Structure 1
Amino acid sequence: MYSASFSQSIGGATGRPRVAIIGSGISGLAAAHTLTGLAELTLFEAGDYFGGHTHTVDVTLPDTQGRPTTFGVDTGFLVLNERTYPNLLALFEQLGVPVAKSDMSFSVQAPGAGPKGTALEWSGSDLSTVFAQRGNLVNPRFWRMLSDIVRFNRITTRLAERGEDLSPDSPLLQPLGDFLTAQGFSAEFRDWYFLPMMGCIWSCPTDQMLQFPVATMVRFCHNHGLIQVTNRPQWYTVAGGARQYVEKILAGVPDRRLNTPVQQVLRDDQGIRVVTEGRVERFDAIVMACHSDQALTILGDAATPQERAALGAVRYQPNRAVLHTDASVLPVSQRAWAAWNYEAASAHAQGEPQVCLHYLLNRLQPLPVEKPVVVSLNPQQAIDPATVIGEYDYAHPVFDLAAIRAQGQMPALQGRHHTWFAGAWMGYGFHEDGLKAGLQAARSLIEAHGLAPRLSGEAARQAALPGVFG
């Protein structure tokens, strides 16, 4: 069937199991880092760089003295905090990756919602930025939004602290759109605060967000301190670019392959065959650390009915990121500039609506320049081509009810047919979720192959990241 080289041996020359990892995002890197020294690893990456949503790009701009300076900026993964990213912070500490404090301020531009048909602009940093447009001090609609924010935080905090289960009749499975209507929240709250905030978090259109179950929003926002006024967690970024942790992990994986898409995975009683262009290789196990739809495509007709049901239930939203220095996309009032700047769709926008965000990287990362450096996700306004540094395509999972239910099916699939799955889509879609999924897949594989005793007991357990051995 294949005119390609074919390795029959199972287990490497060292006697350790051979493990293939598909995908070099955070999940694949976490699995590789955990399995290094325990298995012979091959890391397959279909793209032209390692890291997945960790994508640091070099930019050259004049510094404060006017001298050209080159520095790294992140266009995907950007921030973490001490409360809800314990594994990621532990990984960075273990690898010696420097972090710096970051700003998680948030602004909204709503075309046509301001005075005389202009754009409404506000930011949540402080009272001055909330009322960046001073006319909103006497705008009853704006005050209605602020009142609803307070009420929303109170209601959702109570839901989160109640800790209800996710049984079929649980109110936490109610779609967000129905929840907002039932609770009587205003259109101003929905359009000028809630949907922009959700858009910043999950990078998907408003019609998709309104179908999310309440549980997805409540649990994430509560854990991340987004529905409380005080005691919010401090956010951090990787000083100099997040590719630093990628490079440090890759240093321990000699067999890593860029531009090597896996075409097919064939499974039998003895193990796995991985098919790439012109090559078929034998492995003892595989970690599919890619998006669920990609895993399903690779498995093809060989996917079990259970795998097809679970992997096929998670949808993805494509998003285009443009890295540039055109500050005209930011709010007109600089008082309203924030780290995350949401721009609502114009009433005259054409085509399917997409979430539009402008990340002001100077607020998010310590940069050696004053010129605004921006990543615009699905920009609606024309960006000056002379300011564009690069364009990148990403895909973000859509956490509707079908996806939440699919997550509950995944534990039963792990390890079957020598196959483990990992990805941020198995949690909330964020870096900590991807890391945890990779750690859990590696831990399960370690147990299945009896590799734990090779770690020399308690000393290795103490050196491991949280969650690897329980």
Structure 2
Amino acid sequence: MPSSERLRIAVVGTGVSGLSAAWLLNPRHDVTVYEKAGRVGGHSNTVSVRLDGVDLDVDTGFIVYNAPTYPNFVELLRVLGVESCETDMSFAASLDGGRIEYSGAGLAGLFGQRSNLIRPRFWAMLADLVRFYRRATRDARLPMAEDTTLGDYLAAGRYGAAFRDHHIVPMASAIWSAAPDEILGYPAAAFLRFHDNHGLLRLTNRPIWRTVVGGSRAYVTRLAQPLVGRLRVGAGAERIERVGGRVAVVDANGDRDVFDRVVLATHADEALALLAEPTPRERALLGAFRYSRNEAHLHLDETFMPQRRATWASWNFVSEARSSDRASVTYWMNALQRLPTRRNVFVTLNPQRPPHGPLRIESYDHPIFDAAAIRAQKRLWSLQGFGGVWFCGAHFGAGFHEDGLQSGLAVAEQLGGVRRPWRVEGESSRIVVGPAPAVSDARENAA
């Protein structure tokens, strides 16, 4: 039940979900935050590097957002007084070692490889692209069987191999930080809805994307500032025990503290591993989510970009072999963040060979939204509050920043009787939220 009394609350995890929940709960409750890493922020990870005497703040995880589909994040930045600026979100593909290259940055990018003008498969890809965007916009709003995969949808629509292998799989792999061989197995309904909601199925009038000035660290610092003195950084939770109506947290140092409530703002698999005695329902729902590990390499190596400079874009899918399984995604950070340097700076996910002279390597886990995960997601909120334990994270939605933020804010509101300092349309529309759990739900949640 939501409480008006002052509670001792532990929040485990300092990604956007955990930080936003702790930030909203903190004025009314006694909040303690656990973080296993040596920094706060989760996927909001700005790395500082010095090049040619200039200090650069480069994002290696969360980079961009747009106003229509990130309404709470827009308001959070406003409340925190954090600036943002417009950015470029062009996409390029370089396939089979550069044999096929194009970008979406206008006609010059589409035909940056001149042979595209006379390549029938390229024109077939463009025709399918136009047809897909028109039909998918309609189909995203229609009922579709849960077990229909993107691969099934493309086959039923008789889309060609060129469109599938040279456009939709590379683009989706870049957006979702997923291996190319996993994309075709994604549930088609969820895939189409996400792309439609983000304006990615529009040929024109696409949303304007933005990036945080100074890197995502700028908002993380201000969000965490009221929690100074309550952050246990480098001392993550190791075990969560439900004890006599309260919840005990045992940290990495072996210290044990007891709280009225605990919020697990971690990946689903991590939350399950933390619970000393998970219920059968928690095992089933949290255990339904799989994750992929992605290595992000910050570097200066231009060989990870398309071979033809005319086809360079902000997001670049590059495969060095005929199979797209051996592929990586490179973000051109100069274009994305307006870095004040003439040197080209890149972040490459899962490079197939080490970049020359890497500046930094970071690892991130991303949820895989297969059919099992989508089914479990619809029932995740039923876990809330049992034995004093609550859950939030981007896996409550599509795995992106606004999803994590929405889940953190919604948990804080239902748990702590607090309210975010703004109102936006569809404030929790990207996640599946249920009513505040009641005491009578305890027996069902334990089942």
Q: Secondary structure at the match of 2:338?
A: coil
Give the drift of 1:261: 1.9
Q: Is the 8 A contact 1:288 1:295 kept in 2?
A: yes
- One-letter code of the match for 1:145? M
Match of 2:272 in 1: 296
Classify the secondary structure of the residue corresponding to 1:359.
strand
| Count of residues in Structure 1 that have an aligned counterpart in Structure 2 | 422
For the residues of structure 1 that align with 2:112 and 2:278, how far apart are their CA atoms?
54
- Tell me the amino acid that sits aligned with residue 127 of structure 1: L
Alpha-carbon distance in 1 for matches of 2:223, 2:18? 10
What does residue 107 of structure 1 align with? 92
Tell whether the 8 Å contact from 1:204 to 1:355 is kept in structure 2 after alignment: no
Between the aligned partners of 2:331 and 2:398, the Cα distance in structure 1 is 20
Quick one: distance in 1 between partners of 2:287 and 2:254? 28
2:207 equivalent in structure 1: 233
How many Å separate the matches in 1 of 2:230 and 2:123? 59
SS at match of 1:70: strand
Pairing partner for 1:437 from 393, 403, 407: 407
- 1:355: how far off? 5.1
Matched, 1:331 2:289: no
SS of 1:145's equivalent in the other structure is helix
Aligned to 2:443: none
Counterpart selection for 1:245 from 213, 216, 219: 219
Structure 2 CA distance for partners of 1:354 and 1:284, relative to 1, 3 Å = farther
Change (3 A) 1:413 1:355: farther
CA distance in 1, matches of 2:206, 2:42: 29
The structural deviation recorded for 1:160 is 2.0
Displacement of 1:48 after TM fit? Answer: 1.2
Tell me, yes or no, if structure 1 residue 283 matches structure 2 residue 268.
Answer: no
Name the residue aligned to 2:389.
419
Q: Deviations over 1:51-78 (max 9, x none)?
A: 000000001112xxxxx11121100000
Q: Distance in 2 between matches of 1:161 and 1:90?
A: 28
Per the alignment, in what secondary structure is the counterpart of residue 378 of structure 2? helix
Q: 1:383 to 1:53 in 2, by over 3 A?
A: same
Of all paired residues, the percent bearing the same amino acid is: 42
Equivalent position amino acid for 2:25 in 1: L
User: Is the CA contact 1:356–1:378 (under 8 Å) kept in the aligned structure 2?
Assistant: yes
List aligned pairs for 1:381-396, cutoff 5 A.
381-385=353-357, 388-396=358-366
Shift of 1:347: 3.9
C-alpha distance in 1, partners of 2:60/2:40?
A: 14
1:344 Cα deviation after fit: 2.6
Q: Structure 1 residue 90 and structure 2 residue 66: aligned? A: no
1:400 to 2:364 alignment: no
Aligned to 2:156: 182
Which residue type is aligned with residue 186 of structure 2?
Answer: F
Q: Which residue of 2 aligns with 1:11?
A: none
Residue 37 of structure 1 aligns with which residue? 27
Structure 1 77/124 Cα, relative in aligned 2: closer, same or farther at 3 Å?
A: same
1 CA distance for matches of 2:292 and 2:404?
A: 17
Aligned counterparts of 1:334 and 1:372: Cα–Cα separation in 2: 12
**In the alignment, structure 1 residue 122 sits paired with structure 2 residue 102:** yes
Q: TM-score, normalised by structure 1?
A: 0.87
- Structure 1 residue 368, shift from structure 2 partner: 0.6
CA contact (8 A) 1:225 1:233 kept: yes
Give the secondary structure class of the aligned counterpart of 1:60.
strand
The aligned amino acid for 1:286 is V
Q: Compute the TM-score of the two structures, normalised by the length of structure 2.
A: 0.91
Question: 176, 194, 200: which one pairs with 1:220?
Answer: 194
Shift of 1:232: 0.9
CA gap of 1:402–1:160, structure 2 versus 1, over 3 A, is same
Given that 1:61 and 1:69 are in contact with CA atoms closer than 8 Å, whether structure 2 keeps it comes out as: yes
SS in 1 for 2:58: strand
Q: Which string of whole-angstrom CA distances, capped at 9 and with x for unpartnered residues, describes residues 272-321 of structure 1?
A: 00001221101000110000000011114x00000000000000001111
- SS of residue matched to 1:391: strand
1:323/1:376 contact within 8 Å kept: yes
Larger radius of gyration: 1
Q: Which runs of 5+ in 2 are unaligned?
A: 436-447
Residues 292, 355 of structure 1: alpha-carbon distance in 2 compared, 3 angstrom cutoff: farther
* Residue 203 of structure 1: aligned partner: 177
Superimposed CA distance per residue, residues 217-272 of structure 1 (whole angstroms, 9 cap, x where no aligned partner): 11110011111112211000001111111111111113101111211000033210
Task: Please state how far the C-alpha of 1:330 moved relative to its aligned partner.
Answer: 0.6
1:173–1:215 Cα contact (<8 Å) kept: no
In 1, the alpha carbon distance for the partners of 2:213 and 2:285 equals 38
Structure 2 distance, partners of 1:131, 1:172, is 38
Say whether 1:272 aligns with 2:247: yes
Q: Indicate how the Cα distance of structure 1 residues 347 and 143 shifts in structure 2: closer, same or farther if over 3 A, else same.
A: closer
Separation in 2, partners of 1:354, 1:258: 37
Q: How does 1:39-58 map to 2 (within 5 A)?
A: 39-58=29-48
Query: Are residues 465 and 60 of structure 1, via their aligned partners in 2, closer, same or farther at CA, if it must alter by over 3 Å?
Result: farther
Deviates more, 1:49-58 or 1:339-348: 339-348
CA distance 1:104–1:137, shift in 2 (3 Å): same
Q: Matches of 1:172 and 1:43 in 2, distance apart?
A: 37
Q: Describe the superposition over 1:5-63 as per-residue Cα deviations: whole angstroms up to 9, x where unpaired.
A: xxxxxxxxxx721100000000001101111211111110011111000000001112x
Worse overlay, 152-161 or 279-288:
152-161
Q: Which of 341, 347, 363 is the aligned partner of 2:335?
A: 363
Distance 1:223 1:322 in 2: 30
The DSSP-based 3-state class of the residue aligned with 2:366 is strand
Does the 8 Å CA contact 1:84/1:223 hold for their aligned counterparts? yes
Shift of 1:370: 1.6
| Residue pair 1:104, 1:339 contacting (<8 A) in 2 also | yes
Letter paired with 2:245: Q
Instruction: Report deviation, 1:464.
Output: 4.0
Residue 462 of structure 1 and its aligned partner are, at CA, apart by 7.8
Residue 379 of structure 1 pairs with residue 351 of structure 2: yes
C-alpha distance in 2 between matches for 1:354 and 1:407: 31
Mapped partners of 2:392, 2:221: distance in 1:
20
Pair 1:428-2:392 in alignment: no
Structure 1 residue 465, shift from structure 2 partner: 5.7
Task: Tell me, yes or no, if the aligned pair for 1:326 and 1:374 is still in contact at 8 Å.
Answer: yes
SS in 2 for 1:429: coil
What is the alpha-carbon distance in structure 2 between the residues aligned to residue 362 and residue 383 of structure 1? 17
Deviation at 1:348, TM superposition (A): 7.6
Structure 1 residues not aligned, in runs of 5+ = 1-14, 63-67, 113-117, 165-169, 453-460
SS at match of 1:161: coil
Deviation readout 1:330-365 (Å, 9 max, x if unpaired): 11111100000001351489xxx4651000000100
Aligned-partner SS, 1:157: helix
Contact kept in structure 2, 1:355 and 1:377, CA below 8 Å? no
8 Å CA contact retained: 1:271, 1:285: yes
What root-mean-square deviation, in Å, do the aligned CA atoms of Structure 1 and Structure 2 show? 1.8
